[in-house]
Structure 1
Amino acid sequence: MHLLMIGAAGMVGRKILDKIAAEPAVLGQPVERFTLVDVVAPTAPASLAATAACEAADLSDAGVAERLIAGRPDLIIHLAAVVSGEAEADFDKGYRVNLAGTQALLEAIRQEGLKAPYQPRVVYASSIAVYGAPFEETIAEDFALYPLTSYGTQKAIGELLLADYSRKGFLQGIGIRLPTICIRPGTPNKAASGFFSNILREPLVGQEAVLPVDESVRHWFASPRSAVGFFIHAATMDLAPVGPRINLTMPGLSATVGEEIEALRRVAGDKAVRLIRHEPDATIQRIVAGWATNFEARRARELGFTAETDFDAIIRAHIEDELGGKVAA
């Protein structure tokens, strides 16, 4: 198998590669060739390095998609994106990367298939930002897509393109609407949702964190462990039961910021909670207010996708995976 991963230097991409390195048969068959691409050159896990070509490239640049697809990868995991806050702040960049880059990829696949039969599986990272207010208490499978951010709009258009190119038989697509991934390791990024991770990640290592919204704010979450599971399952599952509605809202956990904080208190104590400083940010508050807070996710669960059911589990997964099982004293 030849795996092309676009956005391979990001957190989810790195963790998927780590999973493949630890379990070489996790995709159902060994990956004999990796093409790993991001705007900064990715680094393959040591055990995969001999079979991995790593390069820095922008999918939206002329000719990049065609060159990557010329190698006819069997599986394409498309993770590359300008995240929500940055896409809102830089309109041109968001549409260039999130929309034009995706369209260039799909069209390159179609053109390659015109030369000789070619129908790769494409797993597309979408987002719950494709939904917009006003919301029902729980978002059902048939809730209409009316995004209220540029990022959500770009992802919704990408979903439609993926579905149409799949319908026409150019590729085998499946779209993964990710919950907010929490707790994200590393340093804060420009995502408007970043504070959901920051208020847990930093206190767990004894550092202060800023909370820009009220504790009553409710949101939809899954851990990085679950995110990896989503992509692995999407890459290996039988797509026949999915039918034509190939963009799926992933399962997750609906919780308030206050419930996050109480889970932190149970796992790491009052000292960690005292490191959270409330500094309201009107821009973040406005963006988050336009996001849904709870999802049915029935179809994804029926198709075998799974996620955590309580926030304690999300925090403990981070401690195990990123902190060696220990929190700051």
Structure 2
Amino acid sequence: MRIAVTGAFGFLGSRLTAHLLEQRMLCGAPIEGLVLADRIVPDDAAAVDDPLVTVVQGDLSDRLDDLFADPVDVIFHLAAAVSAECEEDFDLGMHANLDVTRALLDAARGQSAAGGPVPRLVFSSSLAVFGIHPGLPPTSPVDESTLPTPRTSYGTQKLMCEQLIADCTRRGFVDGRVARLMTVAVRPGKPNAAASAFLSAIIRAPLAGLPATCPVDPGLRVALASPQRTVLGLLHLAEVARGTGPGQLSGSAPVNLPALTVSVTDMLATLRQAAGDAVADLVTIAPDPAVEAIVGSWPAAFDNSRAAALGLHPDPDFASILRHHLDDRAGSTRTAHEPPRP
């Protein structure tokens, strides 16, 4: 089993890679090689030292020959430009999201046409393929039969990729499995360029004693998933059998990964209850119409039935997501202060 991960050194990619290297199995088979592709490889990335790992660095569209130097059985395609940067730079989003995905599909098709395996492609799409349009009644809750009507360039690019992957799957070029990700929170580290980055920042920064700004009306409801549930969802989609029986994946329609619906007010109340007034008071409400227009266009309530039939379930509440984050912070702090082992 040879696996490739694009965007491998990003937040989700690094977590997924760590899981694969820990388990060293996928789909019931041992992992014999793991190709990690990304534009930037951190100097302290521990994964590069593992004997299973081959690193491919640079623009993916220029490095596909290296990615497919040996036959690839499973591809996790996580590399992407995110929401706010796609609104700011249309050409960047089209290249990073659509052009690179098409090039990857062409390379995968070439592998199977040459007699190699038909790769299983797990693609990280987004709830941003849906949009709430003024003058039209919103669909609630959203499920996989809901018509996607994106209102951002990012959502449009993801939807185009979904359709392209579905057609390539229908034609037998790849075995495509599309996971529509909810907003992932709480993300550690520096904020990225996603419009939804504040949903992590209003929790992460105050816990570190730093001020944070909430750029939306606190009454706004959002669809969240913890990093743990998101990574497990991607892995499960890679492993689930195709078919029409219980627990099997039927057709090429995307799977909405399970969502927890919560308001920003509830998120901040949970923070206040867990960490106290002094921490919660570090958050300032300062609406930003540009951010609110993007995040407010995404649906918040999802019907999780299809995900549940596959064995996937949402986080039970925001308190559990916060506990996951606090546990991660505690683990990182312990690791950073542990003396080196002999």
TM-score category (smaller protein):
over 0.9
The TM-score with structure 2 as length reference comes to 0.90
In the alignment, which residue of structure 1 is the partner of 2:83? 84
Residue 243 of structure 1 pairs with residue 250 of structure 2: yes
Distance 1:118 1:246 in 2: 22
Distance 1:88 1:112 in 2: 34
In the alignment, which residue of structure 1 is the partner of 2:60? 59
**Relative to 1, partners in 2 of residues 1:271 and 1:177: Cα closer, same or farther, differing over 3 Å?**
same
C-alpha contact 1:319 1:325 (8 A) present in aligned 2? no
C-alpha contact 2:16 2:231 (8 A) present in aligned 1? yes
Task: Tell me how far 1:289 sits from its aligned partner.
Answer: 1.9
Secondary structure of the corresponding residue to residue 137 of structure 1:
coil
Matches within 5 A, 1:11-22: 11-22=11-22
In the alignment, which residue of structure 1 is the partner of 2:336? none
In the alignment, which residue of structure 2 is the partner of 1:301? 308
Distance 2:6 2:150 in 1: 24
Residue 256 of structure 1 pairs with residue 268 of structure 2: no
Secondary structure of the corresponding residue to residue 25 of structure 2:
coil
**Relative to 1, partners in 2 of residues 1:249 and 1:22: Cα closer, same or farther, differing over 3 Å?**
same
Distance 2:212 2:26 in 1: 36
In the alignment, which residue of structure 1 is the partner of 2:3? 3
Higher alpha-carbon deviation: 163-172 or 44-53: 44-53
**Relative to 1, partners in 2 of residues 1:196 and 1:246: Cα closer, same or farther, differing over 3 Å?**
same
Deviations 1:91-141 (A, max 9, x none): 000000100000000111112221114201110000000001142231133
C-alpha contact 1:133 1:292 (8 A) present in aligned 2? yes
Letter of the structure 2 residue corresponding to residue 81 of structure 1: A
Matches within 5 A, 1:140-179: 140-179=143-182
Deviations 1:270-293 (A, max 9, x none): 121101012221110111121111
Distance 1:122 1:55 in 2: 18
**Relative to 1, partners in 2 of residues 1:26 and 1:307: Cα closer, same or farther, differing over 3 Å?**
farther
Task: Tell me how far 1:299 sits from its aligned partner.
Answer: 0.7
Matches within 5 A, 1:177-256: 177-240=180-243, 241-256=248-263
Task: Tell me how far 1:317 sits from its aligned partner.
Answer: 0.3
Distance 1:47 1:192 in 2: 31
Distance 1:46 1:70 in 2: 20
Structure 1 segments of 4+ aligned residues over 4 angstroms from their partners: none
Letter of the structure 1 residue corresponding to residue 53 of structure 2: A
Letter of the structure 1 residue corresponding to residue 312 of structure 2: F
Aligned pairs, number:
324
In the alignment, which residue of structure 2 is the partner of 1:128? 127
Task: Tell me how far 1:184 sits from its aligned partner.
Answer: 0.6
Q: CA RMSD in A?
A: 1.7
Task: Tell me how far 1:57 sits from its aligned partner.
Answer: 1.6
Secondary structure of the corresponding residue to residue 84 of structure 2:
helix
Higher alpha-carbon deviation: 16-25 or 214-223: 16-25
Deviations 1:62-112 (A, max 9, x none): xx2244224211110000000100011100000001000000001111122
Residue 278 of structure 1 pairs with residue 285 of structure 2: yes
C-alpha contact 2:225 2:315 (8 A) present in aligned 1? yes
Distance 2:116 2:51 in 1: 29
Distance 2:312 2:255 in 1: 10
C-alpha contact 2:48 2:54 (8 A) present in aligned 1? no
C-alpha contact 2:64 2:107 (8 A) present in aligned 1? yes
Identity of aligned residues (%): 37
Task: Tell me how far 1:235 sits from its aligned partner.
Answer: 1.4
Letter of the structure 2 residue corresponding to residue 258 of structure 1: T
Runs of 5+ unmatched residues, structure 2: 334-342
